[in-house]
Amino acid sequence: MIFDIGYLVLLTALVLAAFGILAGYLGGHRRNTRLIQSSFNAVYAVAGLVLVASAILWYGLLSDAFQLSYVWNHSERALPAFYKFSALWGGQAGSLLFWCLLLSGFSAIVAFANRRHHQVLMPFVNSVLLTTSLFFLILLVFAANPFARVGFMPPDGQGLNPLLQNYWMIIHPVMLYLGYVGMAVPFAFAVGALISKRLDNEWVRTVRRWTLIPWMFLSAGIIMGSQWAYMELGWGGYWAWDPVENASFLPWLTGTAFLHSIIIQEQRGILKVWNVVLIWLTYFLVILGTFTTRSGVLESVHSFARSDVGPYFLVFLIIILFGFLWLLFDRLPLLRGEHTIDSYSSREAAFLANNWLFTGIAFATLWGTFFPMFSEILTGERISVAAPFFNKVNGPLFLLLLLLMGVAPLLGWRHTSATAFRKQFTIPILAAIVVGIFVFVAARSLYPVIGLAICGFVAAVIVQEYVRGALARRATTGENLLVAVVNLWSRNGRRYGGYIVHLGIAMIGVAVIGNEFYQQSLSVTLAAGESTTLGRYELVFQRMESNREANLIEFGAVVDAFSLDSGKQVGTLIPKRNIYDKTPDMPTSEVGLHMSPIEDIYVVLNGWDDGGASATFTIYVNPLTVWMWIGGIVLVIGTLIAAWPHSARRRTEAVRSLAYAAGDD
């Protein structure tokens, strides 16, 4: 009974979302405050109802209601409560509901935060956000009902996919979804601006923060996904350019380009068309990403035909595509730039190059991701494009991007003279040369030398920017340097927080280069007590051990690692295999890992014989990999500094709100 209510609640939400779209559109058009109020209330109501529906499904999962086909397929009695909770986003219907929950929640926060601002834009923003919610509600009500029944009461469920029974897998999808969903907000503002013809900088300034926060979630989600792949999949790497990974990476690329190009619009009044196109692309790629991961179209076009949600997504994607293009062409005359680029040695020119590179990488990745699908449609044969393609095409582009990341902050807006150029570039170039020589002495190969030298350049630029900024403050205000740095963050958080993000990216760059060019690996079978060496380490296989958990058995191999230089033990690694009761043919791997700032020792247990007398391992030494995770944390901190709200910016709003007539009440 309660689950039927859940379905009814979703149906009510669907109707109210449709109503709210109309109310927002008409209200915004006629500037009718009652209709506008109704659209705001619809946003809140949909969020509340979807929350109720999610709570009911959570109740079903936690109370083992196996009469629900979703619970039956994605849970079991012995599953720890923690994973029962996260099983909400472990399957198709549940994850669509979760998407909808986060989206409607985000929409409600946006509506509430702006209930007294942007009064002309907001009704349309509400409409666009509700349209996205409506699409997911249609899916939930007509194609992927999370409350559908099995028809009988099974004694136990079939269990959650073992790969998803991992703490990274609980938090990683949440982060990705928050990032995905959040990107609907800047898109909604862009469409709102186009519809209302309010195409000055208002929407751009407003979405800055609403883009940074989802961008941060998306970045964190991608990095956590790599962490999960690194720890769980056991092939020594963290990124394989597989379609699901690319699906999250594509909107990140265009979203990052957008974050940079809105700065140019704000500063110089150019690139107005480009900015709406970029955020539209980002939103389109978000929906496309959800579509590809949910419909199975990339595994095979045939599985797409069997998917219930596939056709719905296709229709929605077509609507986004043509609806937006029509709107854009209609408003094109209003989107003329106010200026042109004065000089190529200017920050806006560097930002423009950054945009080309980001979109270039995005198109290459999109092409590579969808190539197998096109080849299957055209030739009937599936030709996959593998990691070497992506690395070959995107590697050099990323290197250029990294270089620009160092160069752009050193340039001034409009024009940078030769003197200023020299003054800005001398120290960072010297730093790059020093790093380059150092790396060349340690390991003689060209690409890593260039790559790491560029990372050194970027880091030196950031340090120089901070020092010069803080000194400039001290010279005029007499603050000490520490206070000056804090004030740089509070006065110009976007720039100085952005530099911290750049530092995080440079760290990730260091990790990628280290892993890509200096990884060592070895496959070996060892009897108990035997040892092998790899790199600067000796590894001794001691014994096998096993451990019974609630819904699985854990088999671990105890391996001691010793340093060949000092002879001392650096750690004990226990690579594991988990055999799940419900899915014994899908054992999962848990790598044995010893991390250090220089390199990781990474051991995968492939199998064992004679009850543990001997075991087979793949061993990797991964240089500098830990910097990827540290860089991820630095990136999040930087984004938070950049997005931190400061009250002074509310000024225009205060002035403007007096220009409004008082509303109803």
Partner 1 sequence: MSVTLGILIALLLSGLAIAAVTWPLLKKGPAPVLIEDDRLTELLHRKEQVLASIKELEFDYRVGKMSEADYQQYDQRLRRQAIGLIQQIEQVAPESAGLDATLEREIEKRRLVKPTGTAIDEDAGMEAEIARRRRVLVTQPAAPVNGSAARFCTNCGATLAPHHKFCANCGTPIEQGEPSAAVETA
User: Could you tell me the smallest distance in angstroms from the CB atom of residue 68 to partner 1?
Assistant: 14
The region that residue 617 occupies, defined by phi over 0 for left and psi between -120 and 50 for alpha, beta otherwise, is: beta
Q: Which of 45, 61, 191, 508 binds partner 1 (CB under 8 A)?
A: 45
Q: Which stretch binds partner 1 (CB under 8 A): 149-157, 280-288, 405-413, 524-532?
A: 405-413
Q: Cβ distance 381 to 375 under 8 Å?
A: yes
The one among 117, 149, 382, 414 contacting partner 1 by CB under 8 A: 414
Instruction: Decide if residue 153 touches partner 1 (CB under 8 A).
Output: no
Q: Can you tell me the distance from the alpha carbon of 310 to that of 209, in angstroms, rounded to the nearest whole number?
A: 33
Distance (Å, whole) CA 356 – CA 353: 5
Question: Could you tell me which stretch among 104-112, 173-181, 322-330, 649-657 binds partner 1 (CB under 8 A)?
Answer: 649-657
Position 426 contacts partner 1 (CB under 8 A): no
Other beta carbons less than 10 A from residue 551's beta carbon = 19
Question: Which segment (264-272, 435-443, 533-541, 618-626) binds partner 1 by CB under 8 A?
Answer: 264-272
Binding segment (CB under 8 A) for partner 1, from list 182-190, 227-235, 386-394, 407-415: 407-415
| Binding flag, residue 168, partner 1 (CB under 8 A) | no
**Site for partner 1 (CB under 8 A): which residue of 179, 214, 469, 514?**
469
The binder of partner 1 chosen from 340, 379, 476, 566 (CB under 8 A) = 476
Least distance from partner 1 to the Cβ atom of residue 622, Å? 39
Tokens of residue 606, six digits:
């492939």
d(CA 358, CA 468): 29
Under the binding rule (CB under 8 A), the answer on residue 423 touching partner 1 is yes
Based on the shown chain and the rule CB under 8 A, indicate whether residue 430 belongs to the binding site for partner 1.
no
Task: Please report how close the Cβ of residue 267 comes to partner 1 at its closest, in angstroms.
Answer: 6
Nearer residue to partner 1 within complex by CB, 201 or 525: 201
Q: Within 13 Å of residue 64, how many CA atoms lie on the same side as its CB? A: 13
Nearer to partner 1, 40 or 629 (CB): 40
Helices (H), 478-583: 481-491, 493-518
* Interaction between residue 482 and partner 1 (CB under 8 A): no
Give 446 or 648: the residue with its C-beta nearer to partner 1.
648
User: Does 117 interact with partner 1 (rule: CB under 8 A)?
Assistant: no
| Closer to partner 1 by Cβ: residue 315 or 475 | 475
For residue 100, state whether it binds partner 1 (rule: CB under 8 A): no
Report the residue from 95, 119, 515, 551 that binds partner 1 according to the rule CB under 8 A: 119
Decide whether 290 or 464 has the Cβ nearer to partner 1: 464
Q: How far apart (Å, rounded) are the C-alpha atoms in residues 505 and 253? A: 13
CB of 220 to partner 1, least distance (A): 29
The footprint of partner 1 on this chain (CB under 8 A) covers a number of residues equal to 76
Residues 522-551 that bind partner 1 (CB under 8 A): none
- Asked if residue 42 lies in contact with residue 20, where contact means CB atoms within 8 angstroms, the answer is yes
Q: What are phi and psi of 520, to 5 degrees?
A: -120, 145
Q: Please name the residue that has the structure tokens 């600067």.
A: 536
- Do 181 and 99 form a contact (C-beta atoms < 8 A)? yes
Binding mask 446-465 for partner 1 (x = CB under 8 A): -------------------x
The rounded distance, in Å, linking the Cα atoms of 192 and 483 is 40
- Decide: is 481 part of the binding site for partner 1 (CB under 8 A): no
With binding defined as CB under 8 A, does residue 520 bind partner 1? no
- Residue 2 in contact with partner 1, rule: CB under 8 A: yes
- Are 537 and 621 within 8 A, CB to CB? yes
Give the CA angle between residues 459, 636, 438 to the nearest 5°: 25
* Cβ pair 162, 586 in contact under 8 A: yes
The length of the chain is: 665
Task: Say which residues have a Cβ less than 8 Å from residue 210's Cβ, sequence separation at least 6.
Answer: 110, 182, 185, 186, 189
Contacts of 586 (CB under 8 A, 6+ apart): 162, 163, 580
Establish if 64 lies at the interface with partner 1 (CB under 8 A).
Answer: no
**Nearest to partner 1 of 331, 594 (CB atom):** 331
590 with 619: CB under 8 angstroms?
A: no
336 versus 468: smaller Cβ distance to partner 1: 468
Tell me how far, at minimum, the Cβ of 567 lies from partner 1, in Å: 51
Gyration radius (Cα) of the chain, Å: 27
Contact between 148 and partner 1 by CB under 8 A: the answer reads: no
Should residue 410 be labelled a site residue for partner 1 when binding is judged by CB under 8 A? yes
Using CB under 8 A, which of 492, 525, 583, 614 touches partner 1? 492
Of 115, 116, 336, 656, which lies in the binding site for partner 1, with binding defined by CB under 8 A? 656
Distance CA 505, CA 481 (A): 25
Task: Return the C-alpha torsion angle 204, 639, 416, 278, nearest 10.
Answer: -40
Per DSSP, 231 falls in state I
Whether the CA torsion 621, 458, 503, 265 is positive or negative: it is negative
Q: How many CB atoms lie within 10 A of CB 395?
A: 16
φ/ψ of 576, rounded to 5, equals -130, 160
C-beta of 117: minimal distance to partner 1 in Å?
A: 11
Chain Cα centroid distance, residue 603: 28
- Residue number with CB closer to partner 1 (56 or 220): 56
Tell me: does residue 651 bind partner 1 (CB under 8 A): yes
Site residues (CB under 8 A) for partner 1, limited to 183-202: 198, 200-202
Question: Of 194, 357, 393, 411, which one interacts with partner 1 (CB under 8 A)?
Answer: 411
Do residues 191 and 324 touch, judged by C-beta distance below 8 A? yes
Grouping H, G, I as helix, E, B as strand and the rest as coil, residue 154 is: coil
Which residues are 532's β-sheet partners?
539
660 binds partner 1, rule: CB under 8 A = yes
Q: Per CB under 8 A, which of residues 221..260 are in contact with partner 1?
A: none
Q: Considering only residues 292-351, where is the footprint of partner 1 by CB under 8 A?
A: none
Binding mask 10-39 for partner 1 (x = CB under 8 A): --xx--x--xx--x------xxxxxxxxx-
Nearest distance in Å: CB 276, partner 1: 17
